[in-house]
């Protein structure tokens, strides 16, 4: 099949994996420099395995990028993968979706095949049928369900394992209300393992599934963070509690790590968008609001622990290991390292930072006053404290014998026993000896 992908971010780029199954991919982005990088077989983002797939398929002509929408005219399926950020009030900003829909509409109907426009961006319930569909009809002069199809297939990939997750999803959700679209999309996803459950539903249910899933995952994190804050006061180590409750088959072990909270381009904005959508239909989202308020407090909890350990933070040299919002990515969007570092700077600390992948992105966020270290070893040299803010595996084997400062953990990546055995003071959120 010929597949067009609008938007070459994390989600759009992982769709190049469809080339592995013999589909020809045209990526459209509005940024020429991004298009040029992709056409050179280079990934504009760090995502394990992605660049290899890109390089191989650009070379064979199975993948190409362009800024020219006329190149989508012979596509069978057009995936919309543009950003859906938050507005100031937390509600969803659909401007990129609206623009992309208009641009797609202007180029629909030139193919003799029935084309399907598929929203893959995360959008609040009803967006596909109440915003995307009318714009497509208006700008194309065609009728949805008759001349072309409209569907919604949410994406569940995790940054850092996006390629693996795209090829091996836990489920494939296809939301559409016309049979032709369903048949075309079923065919597109045919090459995926037949054991992967398929959920065939309507567009609005597909949109809701994505928000419910992200909110559930975010709620587990905030729940454990609240438990961690209570544990500390009762001299209980939250990691023991998390391990034990995770053994209950009704709960399971994932997403129970207490720490400085969740960041990234999805959980914070998606929970906020669902809160706004919920209020707009008259439902008070008490639990969803608590997920956000617990999360926003966690970075300050780590600062509190740092103050208890070091006293006044003014002129204290603090090494920050980890800047990305999670490991295996260079993405710093909504990273919890941002409020931690900003608070340290406000308190007058001298901050050195190191991250295996996110250093360049960090330089775009923090102005001056930060020392960018060449390695984790350099970063922790001669400092008053070391804070670990991202769960990169490589921080587990930090050379502790050369360190003298307390370790204040935001992610529970290091083994507390090893830190203590090395004669260092160990602190972390939910640790019983804080
Ligand atoms: P992103 O911001 O990284 O990328 C969006 C891309 O779209 C950019 O390259 C931008 O230049 C391009 N773009 C915007 N408007 C355009 C237009 N009119 N024409 C062509 N290109 C245009 O976004 P992302 O992280 O890939 O996320 C995209 C969507 O997928 C969002 O709704 C997000 O919530 C959702 N999502 C993201 C993830 C993730 O892990 N990042 C996972 C699941 C779902």
pLDDT 10s digits, 171-209: 999 999 999 999 999 999 999 999 999 999 999 999 999
117 and 104 in contact (C-beta within 8 Å)? yes
The pLDDT of 113-126, averaged and rounded, is: 98
Distance 11 CA to ligand 1 centre (A): 6
Question: Which pLDDT score is estimated for 107?
Answer: 98
Distance 305 CA to ligand 1 centre (A): 36
Ligand 1 atom closest to the Cα of residue 11 is: 26
Question: Which pLDDT score is estimated for 434?
Answer: 84
Question: Which pLDDT score is estimated for 319?
Answer: 98
Cα 372 to the center of its chain, rounded Å: 24
For the beta carbon of residue 421, count every other beta carbon within 10 angstroms. Answer: 11
Q: Are strands 115-119 and 2-6 parallel, antiparallel or unpaired?
A: unpaired
Question: Which pLDDT score is estimated for 369?
Answer: 85
Instruction: State whether the beta carbon of 78 lies less than 6 angstroms from ligand 1.
Output: no
Ligand 1 atom closest to the Cα of residue 45 is: 3
Question: Which pLDDT score is estimated for 108?
Answer: 97
266 is catalytic: yes
Task: Give pLDDT tens digits for 93-113.
Answer: 999 999 999 999 999 999 999
At 368, the pLDDT band (50, 70, 90 cuts) reads confident
The pLDDT of 210-229, averaged and rounded, is: 98
Distance 97 CA to ligand 1 centre (A): 10
Main-chain dihedrals φ then ψ at residue 140, nearest 5 degrees: -100, -25
Q: Which of 17, 231, 266, 386 is catalytic?
A: 266
pTM score of the predicted model:
0.95
The pLDDT of 400-414, averaged and rounded, is: 94
What is the distance between the alpha carbons of residues 170 and 12, in angstroms, rounded to a whole number? 19
Q: What value, to the nearest 5°, has the Cα angle with vertex 288 and ends 282 and 292?
A: 130
Mention every residue, 6+ apart, whose C-beta is less than 8 A from residue 297.
261
Task: Pick the closest to residue 299 from 263, 254, 349, 329 (CA basis).
Answer: 263
Residue owning the nearest CA to atom 3 of ligand 1: 9
The pLDDT of 372-393, averaged and rounded, is: 97
């Amino acid at each position: 099949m010929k597949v067009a992908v609008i938007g070459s971010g994390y989600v759009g780029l992982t769709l190049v994996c469809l080339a592995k199954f013999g589909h020809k991919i045209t990526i459209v982005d509005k940024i020429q420099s991004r298009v040029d990088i992709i056409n050179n077989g280079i990934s504009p983002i760090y995502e394990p395995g992605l660049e290899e797939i890109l390089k191989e398929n650009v070379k064979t002509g199975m993948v190409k990028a362009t800024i020219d929408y006329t190149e989508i005219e012979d596509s069978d399926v057009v995936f919309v993968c543009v950003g859906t950020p938050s507005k100031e009030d937390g509600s969803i900003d659909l401007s990129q979706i609206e623009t992309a829909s208009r641009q797609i509409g202007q180029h629909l109907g030139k193919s003799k095949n029935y084309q399907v426009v598929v929203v893959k961006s995360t959008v609040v319930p009803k967006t596909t049928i109440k915003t995307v569909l009318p714009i497509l009809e208006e700008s194309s002069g065609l009728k949805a369900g008759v001349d072309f199809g409209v569907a919604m297939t949410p994406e569940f990939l995790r940054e850092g394992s996006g390629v693996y997750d795209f090829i091996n999803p836990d489920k494939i959700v296809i939301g559409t209300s016309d049979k032709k679209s369903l048949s075309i999309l079923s065919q597109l996803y045919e090459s995926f393992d037949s054991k992967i459950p398929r959920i065939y539903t309507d567009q609005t249910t597909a949109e809701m599934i994505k928000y419910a899933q992200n909110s559930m995952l975010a709620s587990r994190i905030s729940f454990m963070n609240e438990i961690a804050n209570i544990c500390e006061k009762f001299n209980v180590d939250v990691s023991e509690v998390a391990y034990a409750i995770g053994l209950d088959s009704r709960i399971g072990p994932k997403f129970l790590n207490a720490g400085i909270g969740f960041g990234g381009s999805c959980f914070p904005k998606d929970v906020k968008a669902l809160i706004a959508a919920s209020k707009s239909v008259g439902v008070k989202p008490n639990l969803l609001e608590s997920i956000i308020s617990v999360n926003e407090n966690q970075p300050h909890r780590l600062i509190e622990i740092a103050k208890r350990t070091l006293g006044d933070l003014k002129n204290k040299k603090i090494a920050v290991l980890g800047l990305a919002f999670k490991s295996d990515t260079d993405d710093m969007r909504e990273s919890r390292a941002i409020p931690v570092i900003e608070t340290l700077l406000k308190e007058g600390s001298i901050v050195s930072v190191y991250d295996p992948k996110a250093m360049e992105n960090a330089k775009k966020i923090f102005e001056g006053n930060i020392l960018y270290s060449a390695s984790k070893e350099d970063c922790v040299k001669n400092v008053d404290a070391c804070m670990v803010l991202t769960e990169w595996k490589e921080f587990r084997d930090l050379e502790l014998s050369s360190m003298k400062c307390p370790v204040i953990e935001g992610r529970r990546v290091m083994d507390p026993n090893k830190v203590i055995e090395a004669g260092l003071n160990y602190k972390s959120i939910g640790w019983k000896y804080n």
